[in-house]
Amino acid sequence: MLLLRRMLTRLHTPHIALLRAPLFTRKFFFIFSAAKHIAVNYLFPMAVSLGNVRPCVLTSFHHKPTPRVCRSNLRFSKNNRLRLLLTKFSPSSKRCCHFHPLKSSSINGFSVQNDSLEHFDGEVNVDFNEKIRRWIRFIQSILPGGSWWSFDDDVEVKIMAKPVTLWRALGKMWDLVSKDRWIIFAAFSALIIAALSEIFIPHFLTASIFTAQSSEIAVFHRNVRLLILLCVTSGICSGLRGCCFGIANMILVKRMRETLYSALLLQDISFFDSETVGDLTSRLGSDCQQVSRVIGNDLNLILRNVLQGTGALIYLIVLSWPLGLCTLMICSALAGLMLIYGLYQKKAAKLVQEITASANEVAQETFSLMRTVRVYGTEKQEVKRYKHWLGKLADINLRQSAAYGFWNLCFNMLYHSTQVIAVLIGGMFIMRGNITAEQLTKFILYSEWLIYSTWWVGDNLSSLMQSVGASEKVFQLMDLMPSDQFMSKGKKLQRLMGRIDFVDVSFRYSSREMVPVLQHVNISVNPGEVVAIAGLSGSGKSTLVNLLLRLYEPTNGQILIDGFPIKEVDIKWLRGRIGFVGQEPKLFRMDISSNISYGCTQDIKQQDIEWAAKQAYAHDFIMSLPSGYETLVDDDLLSGGQKQRIAIARAILRDPTILILDEATSALDAESEHNIKVATLSNGLLVKSLHFLSLYVLICYYI
């Protein structure tokens, strides 16, 4: 007991974890305290592997570990099938076993290892010299060009987008807004007039002050009148410029979203196997929004400041070329820094967008699987998963802010050095009688103007680079060619009889190239024949249907419709003649009538919808809903069987020549299933489900 108490006083809060472990494990630890490092490093992990200790309670079991760490991966734990990462410290450590459950979750195609989410929170026993060495290493890393600035460690996300140059991005943006080029021309005209007016303001300001001082009243009044005129012109034109660029920006973002959305909708289904919904919606949302700054803000301010800066530079050189050249040199240094800073921000922005997309992906997945999350109580885990990406985002934002700080520091130093140089050299020139006090005042005003213009150009250029970096993936997606099915028209047969032949068809999904799903399949179905395809789960029944609907192309062999290769038939026309009810029918967030008539090209009346609903035995339950056919539904507001009945009604309403039911009545009770069969039979349709224990059945019926 004494030993136990002593051990307990030495165990601070995190070690309570050990007490939760089974008695066997506790005894195991205390009795063999003499050989504790062996126990901790080798025996305890074994206890975990045998299932005596749950790995999650071990996470905080560590005490003064030495910094020397060796890692090995263990793959055990029978009950919860977690993969463990055992971090084993050197024998000199006191108790230092540290486990992290490695729950791999695939996000953006890359696995996220949750061990990085839980940080080592124990105190680290390091000597003073080691601390100093660490500090020196840290300081070295945060100096310009140091490792802290590199983003390489953060690239846990898949960056597929090819780099887009600034000119290419601007060219693409121009393509999108060129239809409304008048607004751009109006914006540029206003910009030029405003910039020119503003350039002359310091000149007439200084001239007015000095003419007032020398009592030249007529000249003073003329200068003041001109000053007022310039102020009014620049005010009006600046307002016009801002408004026109804002409109151009709105047009750009709108077209960008439209183009991207249309490009995505025309992709092959296999494209959606590799891209996730969260990622794509993030491209449409935040990535396109990033571009919204480009025209209305960045380009606008860059152009204005380039014009004003050039004007100020010319004025300075005319005023005094030695002073002008000094300012030019400082501005060139600023421009060099600006370029490096801009490129850094571009890279950071690209990563920020990728990580934002990954965070969105997690959120989208969690919200769509909310019921599963609630039932399994994994809310905290999901928050952790989301926080992981937020942490990454914060990390990059931190570096972006630090870079911004550096950029500000450089700017301020260079800005003040121009003032000092101007006063030093200008003062000497005044003393020598080379220039007047009025000229020096104008010089200081214009050099300030020049340096501020350079600053604004740099700031907006880096913002522009960020927008370009953020929109790389958007541009890449917008460039994707539509699926072949939308490119080639194909033949419309005079009449679809319904003969189908699968001739030596083999298939494998492109996302899993190594796994053959179908191999040399030959099936023939005559018009009017009902065929049931039965097979074990995962044997490829739904895949057959996918090929018949031409959602995928066979890797070998071909499918014939009435003797014509399906590839040569107009696929839109063919799909219009096929009624399909899938395994898990999905409903759109719209009323029931719209859901039933969804995709129907014929002129549909309410009676037709109700007729189809009656055939599918959906009418009664629809009428029992508060607003009947007007009731708003979606994927979550109806039972599985009710959704299936609406989907069957949708298929019936199309009056299809070929009806494919992919276990379409699996969620219905036996009576409803029977009723639907009888009802559809009387209209020449047969719906039949065969349930062979765990076997799954697909029925194809041709009329």
Ligand X SMILES: Nc1ncnc2c1ncn2[C@@H]1O[C@H](COP(=O)(O)OP(=O)(O)OP(=O)(O)O)[C@@H](O)[C@H]1O
Q: How far is the CB of 538 from ligand X (least distance, A)?
A: 4
584 belongs to the binding site for ligand X (CB under 6 A): no
How far is 414 from 5, CA to CA, in rounded Å?
66
Q: How far is the CB of 407 from ligand X (least distance, A)?
A: 47
Applying CB under 6 A, the site for ligand X has a residue count of 15
700 belongs to the binding site for ligand X (CB under 6 A): no
Q: Which residue's CB is nearer to ligand X, number 417 or number 539?
A: 539
509 belongs to the binding site for ligand X (CB under 6 A): yes
| Nearest one of 172, 162, 463, 159 to 290, comparing CA atoms | 463
Q: Which stretch binds ligand X (CB under 6 A): 160-168, 437-445, 459-467, 510-518?
A: 510-518
DSSP state of 515: -
665 belongs to the binding site for ligand X (CB under 6 A): no
Q: What is the DSSP string of 306-320?
A: HHHHHHHHHHHHHH-
Q: Which stretch binds ligand X (CB under 6 A): 333-341, 424-432, 476-484, 511-519?
A: 511-519
Q: What is the DSSP string of 565-623?
A: EGGGB-HHHHHTTEEEE-SS----SEEHHHHHTTT--S---HHHHHHHHHHTT-HHHHH
Q: Which residue's CB is nearer to ligand X, number 59 or number 583?
A: 583
Q: Which residue's CB is nearer to ligand X, number 374 or number 512?
A: 512
Q: How far is the CB of 272 from ligand X (least distance, A)?
A: 9
Q: Which residue's CB is nearer to ligand X, number 262 or number 510?
A: 510
694 belongs to the binding site for ligand X (CB under 6 A): no
Q: Which residue's CB is nearer to ligand X, number 327 or number 665?
A: 665
Per the CB < 8 A criterion, the answer to whether 656 and 577 are in contact is yes
> Which H/E stretch holds residue 353?
helix 321-368
Q: Which stretch binds ligand X (CB under 6 A): 351-359, 505-513, 641-649, 674-682?
A: 505-513
Q: How far is the CB of 512 from ligand X (least distance, A)?
A: 4
Q: What are phi and psi of 590, to 5 degrees?
A: -155, 175
Tokens standing for residue 205: 């300001």
Reduced to 3 states (helix: H, G, I; strand: E, B; else coil), residue 392 is helix
511 belongs to the binding site for ligand X (CB under 6 A): yes
Select from 580, 696, 701, 702 the one that contacts ligand X (CB under 6 A): 696
Cα-Cα end-to-end distance for the chain: 84
How far is 275 from 407, CA to CA, in rounded Å?
37
541 belongs to the binding site for ligand X (CB under 6 A): yes
Q: Which residue's CB is nearer to ligand X, number 366 or number 543?
A: 543
| Nearest one of 65, 101, 699, 33 to 380, comparing CA atoms | 101
Q: How far is the CB of 243 from ligand X (least distance, A)?
A: 49
285 belongs to the binding site for ligand X (CB under 6 A): no
Place of tokens 């800073």: 341
Angle at which helix 181-213 crosses helix 217-265, to 10 degrees, equals: 160
Select from 324, 540, 585, 656 the one that contacts ligand X (CB under 6 A): 540
Q: Which residue's CB is nearer to ligand X, number 177 or number 544?
A: 544
538 belongs to the binding site for ligand X (CB under 6 A): yes
Q: Which residue's CB is nearer to ligand X, number 125 or number 539?
A: 539
Angle at which helix 166-177 crosses helix 217-265, to 10 degrees, equals: 90
Q: How far is the CB of 540 from ligand X (least distance, A)?
A: 4
Window 240-279: contact mask with ligand X (x via CB under 6 A): ---------------------------------x------
Per the CB < 8 A criterion, the answer to whether 49 and 109 are in contact is no
Name the CA dihedral angle for 362, 366, 369, 373, rounded to a multiple of 10 degrees: 130
60 belongs to the binding site for ligand X (CB under 6 A): no
Mode of pairing for the β-strands spanning 590-591 and 556-561: unpaired
Question: Which residues are at the interface with ligand X (CB under 6 A)?
Answer: 273, 509, 511-512, 517, 535, 537-543, 583, 696
